[in-house]
């Protein structure tokens, strides 16, 4: 048993929140630079230039890349041999989010109830926490803030096996087409295939929080990622939706086992501010 204090978890989450919101990952920045070289539309190149300068300013001033600093989505892998001391895990994560978003001058965009009062919780809690128990005595925390412009454009398609590969491609393409300029393209498209309703959505979220330079380890799915990217970039939506050849930096696909009669496809879109930060305790 290795002991990890709730305090350390809290402090780490607070740091990751600010880091994720103010520092674009180097890989996303590289994707922007490559996109600017490849983009055929002059307006699109101008938009990409603005985004690159924006990321530089944000990093230099420790200012948020985007004003929508999102809901704080936390992926936690907790080693089975860890004993958390001095408090509850979820409380520690939420305290970290509250502190990071308050002390880091990030926007608080969480309302406590969706339908009637929609009252802001004031500190961007609660976080959306996805926990997995894994082997070992460490905790891996990945924080991926997600804004509404892109989150609102996600979709779940409950396909059937007969829809096959073509059905999957069509579902992804139509979701991205329909999203238009709202998710601030160029985007990172996360696709979750298989599982059931909720698992497909979780896979899609993991996929869109994955690094733009990562590839699915299964070569068939890695090829699908490339094919989907080619299709999506054929939509012409372009940077900021103003028209152009780069609509997405990357399509990430995650899959999992499913029922003999199911083929769920979830699409979760991440925007050009494809942000995440990670720490291992």
Partner 1 sequence: MPATHHLTTPLSKDDIRKLRIGDLAFISGTVYAARDAAHKRMIEALDRGDPLPFDPRGQIVYYVGPTPAKPGKPIGSAGPTTSGRMDAYTPRLLQLGLAGMIGKGNRSRAVMDAIRDNVCVYFAATGGAAALISRCIKSYVVLAWPELGPEALAAMEVENFPVTVVADCYGGDQYEEGAKPYRRV
Q: Looking only at residues 181 through 240 of this chain, which bind ligand SF4 when binding is defined by CB under 6 A?
A: 183-184
Neighbours of 75 (CB within 10 A): 20
Two structure tokens written together for 217: 């380890």
**Least Cβ distance, residue 248 to partner 1 (angstroms):** 13
CB crowding 132-169: b at 16 or more within 10 Å, else e? eeeeeeebbbbbbbbbebbbebbbbbebeeebeeebbb
**Least Cβ distance, residue 110 to partner 1 (angstroms):** 13
Using rule CB under 8 A, residue 26 touches partner 1: no
**Least Cβ distance, residue 83 to ligand SF4 (angstroms):** 37
- In the shown chain, the binding pattern of residues 80 to 99 toward partner 1, with x for contact by CB under 8 A and - for none, equals --------------------
Using rule CB under 8 A, residue 148 touches partner 1: yes
Using rule CB under 6 A, residue 147 touches ligand SF4: yes
Maximal C-alpha separation, the chain = 58
- Nearest to ligand SF4 of 151, 254 (CB atom): 151
- Count of residues that interact with partner 1, criterion CB under 8 A: 48
Using rule CB under 8 A, residue 152 touches partner 1: yes
**Least Cβ distance, residue 244 to ligand SF4 (angstroms):** 16
CA 26 to chain centre: 15
- In the shown chain, the binding pattern of residues 202 to 241 toward partner 1, with x for contact by CB under 8 A and - for none, equals -----------------------------x--xxxxx-xx
Q: Looking only at residues 65 through 124 of this chain, which bind ligand SF4 when binding is defined by CB under 6 A?
A: 66, 68, 70
**Least Cβ distance, residue 242 to partner 1 (angstroms):** 5
- Nearest to ligand SF4 of 66, 171 (CB atom): 66
- In the shown chain, the binding pattern of residues 255 to 274 toward ligand SF4, with x for contact by CB under 6 A and - for none, equals ----------------xxx-
State the residues that interact with ligand SF4 by CB under 6 A.
66, 68, 70, 147, 149-150, 183-184, 271-273
State the residues that interact with partner 1 by CB under 8 A.
40-43, 46-47, 50-51, 53-55, 57-58, 61, 63-69, 105-107, 120, 148-149, 152, 173, 180-182, 184, 231, 234-238, 240-245, 271-273
């Amino acid at each position: 048993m290795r002991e990890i204090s709730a305090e350390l978890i809290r402090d780490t989450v607070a740091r990751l929140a600010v880091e994720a919101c103010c520092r674009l990952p180097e890989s996303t920045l590289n994707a922007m630079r490559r996109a600017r070289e490849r983009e055929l539309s002059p307006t699109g190149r101008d938009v990409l230039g603005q985004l690159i300068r924006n990321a530089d300013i944000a990093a230099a001033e420790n200012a948020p890349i985007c004003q929508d600093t999102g809901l704080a989505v936390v992926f936690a892998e907790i080693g089975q041999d860890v004993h958390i001391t001095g408090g509850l895990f979820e409380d520690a994560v939420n305290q970290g989010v509250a502190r990071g978003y308050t002390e880091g001058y990030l926007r608080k965009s969480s309302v406590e109830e969706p339908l009637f009062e929609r009252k802001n919780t004031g500190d961007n809690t609660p976080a959306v926490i996805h926990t997995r128990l894994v082997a070992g005595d460490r905790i891996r925390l990945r924080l991926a803030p997600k804004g509404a412009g892109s989150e609102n454009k996600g979709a779940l398609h409950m396909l059937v096996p007969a829809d096959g590969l073509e059905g999957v491609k069509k579902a992804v393409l139509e979701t991205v087409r329909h999203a238009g300029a709202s998710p601030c393209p160029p985007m990172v498209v996360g696709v979750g295939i298989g599982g059931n309703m909720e698992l497909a959505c979780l896979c899609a979220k993991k996929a869109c929080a994955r690094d733009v330079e990562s590839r699915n380890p299964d070569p068939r799915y890695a090829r699908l990622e490339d094919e989907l990217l080619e299709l999506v970039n054929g939509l012409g939506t372009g940077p900021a939706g103003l028209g152009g050849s780069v609509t997405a930096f990357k399509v990430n696909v995650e899959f999992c086992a499913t029922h003999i009669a199911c083929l769920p496809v979830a699409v979760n879109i991440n925007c050009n501010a494809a942000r995440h930060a990670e720490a291992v305790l």
